[in-house]
Amino acid sequence: MSTVADVSGTRVLRAVLCASACLVPGAVAATAAPSWYPYSAAAWAATVDGADPKCQEGHMQSPIDFPQCLEVETRPPLQASWGTHDVVLKNNGHTVQLDVPATAGKFAIDAHEYQLRQCHFHTGSEHTVGGRQLDMVAHCVHVKTAGPMANQRFGVLGIFFEASDTESDAFLAQFVDHLPANPDGSHRRLSTVGADTVSSFTGPVDFGLLSGTAPITEYYSYNGSLTTPPCSEVVDWYVPIHRHKVSREQLAKFTVAIGVVGGNYRPPQGLHDRSVAGCRSVAKPWYPYDAKVWANEVHGANPLCQDGHMQSPIDLPQCLEVEARPPIQVSWGKHDVVLKNNGHTVQLDVPATAGKFNIGANEYQLRQCHFHTGSEHTV
């Protein structure tokens, strides 16, 4: 029977540290493997580069959907000491990746210690929270060097990013203008040796701007897998609940550089019998609607949802005769959008300078449009 050490020492270690796309020197495949994205469980199990049946059949797969916390648990402190390092900034056809020296920083929690090897990026996020996908995530991959199963497991610290119209991220700003392009227009790993596109930028990069200097005490954790083929189930996942802000300009640069239409992410996998730590109490879903639950037990709960006297929606009266009213002037125009699903609805976000509507002396600036099936107001 193969042990975890057997797997990690040959296949998994190479898969992680090379972003699951290393090739044997001198080897040239006769036919390029199918693209990893968009994700297909059947293809990842059988036909893509690094394919493994575990990608379809495993019961400890990643990513997963994290619960939305009603109360966040204060956890044992996770201390990242990543420091400032020279880097190799590359695009391997699946992601943009920062490789660091073997002696680069680490993170520790209790008796567990993990040595940093690389950070790479997904647009949008792979893990979701309460069904909501975030705009981007950084996965910083470590080899476990102390604690149970040292040198046989990996630790990944995943940092969520939310798009912002007003804020940018200082960590990303260090290299976002130097991102190398996808080496393959078809968005798959090339079949030739040395096909990575490597940036002339070599740092240094201050990784402390990503991890922060204070210990992290609010985070999700669970046991899972690589989120790319061969999907090996040898990863200790740690994902801080706090999210970084990424400007829409920074996000657009990553999206273009990664070059994968629709995003380079695997969707959430089944939890099966695993447990996820991070919440003292878990928020209930918004729907089906329950006034008491909205007042006390959902994310954003407020007693006003149950006790308020000016709540919406309402039942609008059916008019026998329609009244001529002061005109509403809508000037929305045409705009670029962010089309997203936040776990409650599909939503179109627009720039801060997008259209507006006026009625009399009242003026309203457009921010977003979202959808309900069926309608909330009735007539």
Q: What is the pLDDT of residues 319-341, one digit of tens each?
A: 999 999 999 999 998 988 888 88
Pull the structure tokens for residue 225.
């897998």
Q: What is the rounded distance in angstroms from the CA atom of residue 285 to the CA atom of residue 134?
A: 18
Reported confidence tier of residue 28, pLDDT bands at 50, 70, 90: very low
Give the E-state strand segments of 123-183 in sequence order: 128-129, 132-133, 136-146, 154-164
Q: Sign (positive/negative) of CA torsion 196, 44, 163, 331?
A: positive
Mean pLDDT, range 139-144, rounded to an integer: 95
Q: What's the average model confidence in pLDDT over 360-373?
A: 92
What pLDDT score was predicted for residue 30?
43
Does 185 have pLDDT greater than 70? no
Each residue of 58-110: pLDDT tens digit? Answer: 999 999 999 999 899 999 999 999 999 999 999 999 999 999 998 888 999 99
- Which of 25-39, 185-199, 277-291 is predicted least confidently? 185-199
Element (H or E) spanning 289, and its range?
A: none
Q: Which residues contact 305 (CB under 8 A, 6 or more apart)?
A: 291, 294, 295, 311
Distance separating alpha carbons of residues 123 and 132, to the nearest angstrom: 13
> To the nearest whole number, what is the mean pLDDT of the chain?
86
Q: How confident is the model at residue 190 (pLDDT cuts 50, 70, 90)?
A: very low
- 128 vs 14 pLDDT, higher one: 128
Q: What is the DSSP letter of 331?
A: E
Task: With a cut of 80, say whether residue 4 has pLDDT above it.
Answer: no
Residue 32: pLDDT band (50, 70, 90) is low
**3 has a pLDDT exceeding 50:** no
CA distance 302 to 238: 30
- Whether the per-residue pLDDT at 298 is higher than 90: the answer is no
- 112 pLDDT above the threshold of 50: yes
Of the pLDDT bands very low, low, confident and very high (cuts 50, 70, 90), residue 228 is very high
Q: Does the pLDDT value for residue 312 go beyond 60? A: yes
Contact 347, 368 (CB under 8 A): yes
Task: Tell me the average pLDDT across 273-289.
Answer: 89
The residues, any chain, with a CB within 8 Å of residue 288's CB and separated by 6 or more, are: none
Q: Alpha carbon of 94 to those of 18, 203, 351: distances in Å?
A: 11, 22, 29
How sure is the predictor about 182, in pLDDT bands with cuts at 50, 70 and 90? confident
Supply the pLDDT for residue 31: 53
| Highest-confidence segment of 9-18, 250-259, 288-297 | 250-259
CA distances from 192 to 23, 27, 32, 197, 228 (A): 8, 7, 9, 12, 20
216: β partners: 78
pLDDT in tens, 343-363: 789 999 888 888 898 999 999
